[in-house]
Amino acid sequence: MARAGVFRTPHGDIETPVFVPVATQAAVKALPPKDLKEMGVSVILANTYHLHLRPGEKIIKKLGGLHKFMAWNGPIITDSGGFQVFSLGFGLEQGVGKIAKIFPGEKKNKKIKGVNCGRKNFVKIDDDGATFISHLDGSLHRLTPEKSIEIQRNLGADIVLAFDECTSPLADYKYTKKSMERTHRWALRCLSVAKTRNLQALFGIVQGGAFKDLREESAKFISSLPFDGIAIGGSFGKFKKDMHRVLEWTIPLLPEEKPRHLLGIGGIEDFFECVDRGIDMFDCAAPTREARNGALMIRQGRLNILNSAYKTDKKPIEKNCQCYTCQNFSRAYLRHLFLAKEILAYQLATIHNICFVHNLVRKIRQSILDGKFQKFKKEFLKK
């Protein structure tokens, strides 16, 4: 089911399959926009939750929107904030513990059923939205489908995501079903307020955890609505094979003419396996996070630059790599920078990882156009 396409936005075309670097706080960590442009990166993803808390969407709008604020003239995607509400606040309803009073008056670091419920971790999800306490300063915030769309509109992204509830892999069937139905109601509310959007594409999100009937129900429901694209989110189970099954249940039920975005997935094997199952777009913070920890992507897997074996190694990170780092610096030099804790280490490592992933997905796209995807997949994964 691998396919190649083009999604047009006011700030340029997105050729798919495509990897979308994560610019959580309006910046891809350690990289200026010019480096991304030089690599050929076409689209980035910014974070609604974080930008709402700091510096605030109204400030960004006043300064010309995200594109001018971060000096990026290409397409921008913003998530809805749903995942961050879950991951940073931890949904206490989801089989982990329950609290009746979670706001001012609760003692800091109070533990309930073994779960650390310090004020910075408090969140309450209800049918109308989510109330949470900022991890930055403890201030109280409310996020609803309408508020999420309003924030994303002010940020000025080209593609915005509907507000959803992201469930934990630990959530049982009963809660996952309840959460999915809530996400569906929120999808309708997002559409109702997004009708007046100005050239912003709105993607709906399929939920349902690792349960076949729920994934199929959600895929059918979201596909029946007038979204411009479909994202697939939530828990994909505990193993890669679980994620593959989720995609095999979901994708055949999605409209062929709309792009499909797999949220938060970006492993090397994932690109091949998920494109093979019909995915068009990926976003993931792993390449930049791994770079800052000295894990560099190569065709054979990962290279730990901190290993003493590279102390006097004159070779680049990857032979034949055209990135700025590999064209100019040795493994020995990069190892030295990491051990010396030089900031340049993070920049050079991130340049390589983003360039590696971008070029790999671009090659995957070309192999689809050439009718050689299966051959390319087999040869690459064999190594």
CB atoms within 10 A of CB 195: 8
234 torsion bin: left (phi>0), alpha (psi -120 to 50), beta (else)? left
Two tokens at 257? 């003419």
Place of tokens 């089989």: 95
Is residue 233 scored above 90 in pLDDT?
Answer: yes
Confidence grade of residue 197 (pLDDT, cut at 50, 70, 90): low
Is residue 185 scored above 70 in pLDDT?
Answer: yes
User: What is the percentage of the chain residues whose pLDDT exceeds 70?
Assistant: 90
Is residue 100 scored above 50 in pLDDT?
Answer: no
Give the chain's domains with CATH numbers: 5-89+143-278 (3.20.20.105), 290-382 (no CATH)
Confidence grade of residue 134 (pLDDT, cut at 50, 70, 90): confident
Beta strands in 69-150 (DSSP E): 76-78, 111-112, 115-116, 123-125, 130-133, 140-143
Lowest mean pLDDT among 35-39, 65-69, 193-197, 256-260: 193-197
pLDDT of the residue at 112: 33
- Between CA 15 and CA 337, with CA 72 as vertex, the angle to 5 degrees is 95
Is 160:202 a contact under the CB 8 Å cutoff? yes
pLDDT of the residue at 76: 98
Is residue 153 scored above 90 in pLDDT?
Answer: yes
Is 227:200 a contact under the CB 8 Å cutoff? no
E strand or H helix at 184: helix 173-194
CB atoms within 10 A of CB 372: 12
Two tokens at 40? 């050929």
Which residues does 376 contact at the CB level (< 8 Å), separation at least 6?
A: 363, 364, 367
Largest interatomic CA distance in the chain: 63
Is 307:295 a contact under the CB 8 Å cutoff? no
Question: How distant, in Å, are the alpha carbons of 31, 144, 255, 362 from that of 188?
Answer: 37, 12, 18, 35
Two tokens at 2? 């691998």
- The per-residue pLDDT for range 164-183, each reduced to its tens digit, is 998 888 889 999 999 999 99
Confidence grade of residue 184 (pLDDT, cut at 50, 70, 90): very high
Is residue 156 scored above 90 in pLDDT?
Answer: yes
Name the DSSP class of 346: H
Is residue 103 scored above 80 in pLDDT?
Answer: no
End-to-end CA separation in angstroms for the chain: 23
Q: In whole angstroms, what is the distance from residue 140 CA to residue 136 CA?
A: 11
- CA torsion 82-17-321-296 (nearest 10°) is 30
Lowest mean pLDDT among 40-54, 107-121, 313-327: 107-121
Q: In whole angstroms, what is the distance from residue 203 CA to residue 227 CA?
A: 5
CA 102 centroid distance within chain: 29
Residues with a known catalytic role: 79, 283
CA 113 centroid distance within chain: 31
- Between CA 122 and CA 245, with CA 284 as vertex, the angle to 5 degrees is 95
